[in-house]
């Protein structure tokens, strides 16, 4: 594991400003010193996150209450998204059941047309599943009985998926592993960009890397 932040080396130039009887030093780090400091910061951050369970109560991350408007916490927002995801999954299961082994139920195309093209009572506006509960509520008020029965079937299938088929432990593990893996990959990319910067410039700062990234994104969009 990398050690603490490096001590200012001989490559560090100090500019001393005097005002009245006091003096303060503004360090100007060389390219190698800056890269070393950035590496130490990333290593320290990784070490702190790996020992997060030992942190004091006062060191816990404070999450704003208005982080997601309409939801009191990120957990509530995630739960709402999962409800919609389960509704989509249940709808796909029911559509697959309607396909059958020999013939396809007429409701298969009707429900797909309803989601993609809408219906007369929706004035031709498509009805994709953006909010699972709201979508089911509207489907249960459909003028045609077959659509209302389809809503009940999807509702029951969704409950069955949640109770028996969906692996909540696997979802939790996959989410955590995905975040950790992506964090490691992005940190490696950031350090490699800093290394490239030190090879081409006398002085390097994190802002230089960010500016280059923004410029490259603009060039790619313009091309």
CATH level 2 (architecture), domain 76-166: Orthogonal Bundle (1.10)
- For residue 64, what are its two tokens? 């704003």
Q: What is the pLDDT of residue 40?
A: 59
Check residue 43 and give left, alpha or beta (phi > 0: left; psi -120 to 50: alpha).
Answer: alpha
18, β-bridge pairs: 23
Q: Is 15 helix (H, G, I), strand (E, B) or coil?
A: strand
pLDDT digits (tens, 9 = 90+) for 130-161: 999 999 999 999 999 999 999 999 999 999 99
Q: What is the pLDDT of residue 70?
A: 81
Q: What is the pLDDT of residue 197?
A: 74
Q: What is the pLDDT of residue 7?
A: 39
pTM exceeding the 0.85 threshold for the entire prediction = no
Question: For the chain, which residues make up each domain, given as ranges?
Answer: 76-166, 171-211
Higher pLDDT, 150 or 29: 150
- Tell me how far apart the alpha carbons of residues 26 and 15 are, in angstroms, rounded to a whole number: 6
CA dihedral for 62, 167, 138, 125, sign (positive or negative): positive
Higher pLDDT, 100 or 154: 154
Higher pLDDT, 78 or 223: 78
pLDDT digits (tens, 9 = 90+) for 107-130: 999 999 999 999 999 998 999 999
Cβ–Cβ under 8 Å, residues 142 and 119: yes
Higher pLDDT, 202 or 138: 138
Q: Which of 86-90, 116-120, 184-188, 211-215 has the lowest mean pLDDT?
A: 211-215
- Tell me how far apart the alpha carbons of residues 206 and 197 are, in angstroms, rounded to a whole number: 9
């Amino acid at each position: 594991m990398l050690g603490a932040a490096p001590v200012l080396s001989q490559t560090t130039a100090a500019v001393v400003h005097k005002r009245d009887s006091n003096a303060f030093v503004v360090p100007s780090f060389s390219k190698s010193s800056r890269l070393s400091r950035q590496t130490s910061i990333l290593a320290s951050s990784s070490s702190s996150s790996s020992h997060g369970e030992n942190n004091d109560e006062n060191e816990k991350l404070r999450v704003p209450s208005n982080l997601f408007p309409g939801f009191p916490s990120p957990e509530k927002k995630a739960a709402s998204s999962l409800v919609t995801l389960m509704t989509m999954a249940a709808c796909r299961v029911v559509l697959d059941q309607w396909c059958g082994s020999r013939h396809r139920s007429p409701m298969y195309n009707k429900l797909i047309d309803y989601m993609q093209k809408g219906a007369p009572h929706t004035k031709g506006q498509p009805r994709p599943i953006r909010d699972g509960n709201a979508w089911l509520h509207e489907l249960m008020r459909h003028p045609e009985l077959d659509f209302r029965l389809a809503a009940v079937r999807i509702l029951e299938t969704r409950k069955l998926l949640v109770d028996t088929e969906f692996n909540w432990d696997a979802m939790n593990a996959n989410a955590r592993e995905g975040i950790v893996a992506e964090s490691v990959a992005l940190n490696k990319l950031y350090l490699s960009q800093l290394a490239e910067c030190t090879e081409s410039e006398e002085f390097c700062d994190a802002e230089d890397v960010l500016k280059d990234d923004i410029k490259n994104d603009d060039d790619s969009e313009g091309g």
